[in-house]
Amino acid sequence: MTTIQTTELDRYHRQMLLPGIGEEGQRKLMNAKVFVCGCGALGTVIANMLARAGVGHLVIADRDFIEMTNLQRQILFDESDVENALPKAEAARRKIAQINSQVKVTTFIDDVNHTNVEKMAADCDIILDGLDNFETRFLLNDVAVKHRIPYVYGGSVGTTGMTYAILPHSHPDDANETPWELAGAATPCLRCIFEQAPPPGMNPTCDTAGVLGPVVSIVANYQCVEAIKILTGNYSAVRPTLLSFDVWENTIRQLKVARAYDVGNCLCCKQRQFEFLEGKFASGTTTLCGRNAVQLTQKLAEGRKLDFDEIAQRLAAHGQVKANKFMLRADITDNGNAYELTLFTDGRAIVKGTKEANVAKSIYAKYVGA
């Protein structure tokens, strides 16, 4: 625990006036480490709000770079970030440094998967998701239950939103109870409530069905509210229901889920099977739904990096190439089809212009190397 000077507290005066927070709560926030997983629409709002609230250390993970269509709702980014082809996590880090220099930020410009998620979430006091898919959310849920870290889920598409706070139940073998269990505030996990991810088609994404900027902000701010309650130890104030709303149809529902843990036989929090963390469903490719793109997650050996200069020279013959120290982007025409290839230094790639994993793999093999 680092020592906090009284002068560092001054800027949080309005927040410390709140009876649930006070100076003691503020110090807890300033000593907290938070994992923001995904830094798109939800994640930028979360990172922005928690940095302003004075959370001591933010760990931000995101695999993507910034596009112009993100700016409608992803509040930490601007046109110059698009122009500079910055990865989202890096742009967020730079912006947060301007917002609140007291906040330490650690970034992972990477796909979050079963091989790296425990490293990212290590020592974090809470996990907030800013994700766009259920596979990774179930992965976070596994981490949250296994390591007894609170996790706040948020989702948003169209004009609808949903959020829910997981305060995991301990395993009977655990030596001690968590503070939220002592407060009688443990909640069912995400898989107690959603046994399976909805398949494509039942599962509109923001890229296919659109999304209203304010609705994502509302969801993310609700996530932050629950995070601040949890980090300041106000466990009994945490909303125990699954909140679901539609801002266009003016409906708000609080779905009662508390019985899900007692009555259900959840694979994750009751049976302790961490299928997602064990990599049971992992693959080397992910189709980025609605974006006509495929992500290839194969990596170079630890410590090795792609030589962007060499690749840029090679690909210049095929189309426009742009590179900075984080990524290289090349337009490629192959057999009359246009692709946009984005490479990260560790070997990860996003191939735009196809939904087929095999096509993406062959483009990578052909132009980058196997």
Partner 1 sequence: MEVTISIPTALRPQVDNKDTVKVTGSSVREALGALTAQYPELGKRLYAGENELNRFINVYVNDEDIRFMDNLDTALKEGDEVSIIPAIAGG
Of residues 142-181, which lie at the interface with partner 1 (CB under 8 A)?
Answer: 154-158, 160-162
Q: Which helix (H) or strand (E) holds 141?
A: helix 134-147
Dump the DSSP string for 198-224. PPTTSS--HHHH-B-HHHHHHHHHHHH
Piece of 9-17, 108-116, 242-250, 302-310 that binds partner 1 (CB under 8 A) = 242-250
Name the DSSP class of 24: H
Active site residue: 37, 206, 266, 269, which one?
A: 206
The count of chain residues that interact with Zn ion, using the rule CB under 5 A, is 6
CA distance 137 to 135: 5
Dump the DSSP string for 183-199. TT-----HHHH-SSPPP
CA distance 218 to 222: 6
Piece of 142-150, 165-173, 254-262, 336-344 that binds partner 1 (CB under 8 A) = 254-262
CA distance 254 to 274: 28
User: 233 vs 264, which CB is nearer to partner 1?
Assistant: 264
Contact, 304 vs 287, CB < 8 A? no
Active site (annotated) includes residue 206: yes
State yes or no: residue 199 binds partner 1 (CB under 8 A). yes
Residue 48, both tokens: 């922005």
Piece of 3-11, 33-41, 79-87, 141-149 that binds partner 1 (CB under 8 A) = 33-41
Of residues 113-142, which lie at the interface with partner 1 (CB under 8 A)?
Answer: 129-134, 137
CA distance 234 to 285: 41
Among 196, 250, 271, 335, binds partner 1 (CB under 8 A): 196
User: 55 vs 260, which CB is nearer to partner 1?
Assistant: 260
Nearest to 193 by CA among 232, 164, 172, 169: 164
The count of chain residues that interact with partner 1, using the rule CB under 8 A, is 49
Would you tell me which residues interact with partner 1 (CB under 8 A)? 38, 40-43, 129-134, 137, 154-158, 160-162, 193-199, 201-206, 209, 211, 216, 219, 244, 246, 249, 253-257, 259-260, 263-264
Which residues participate in catalysis according to the annotation? 206
What residue ranges bind Zn ion (CB under 5 A)?
189, 191-192, 266, 268-269
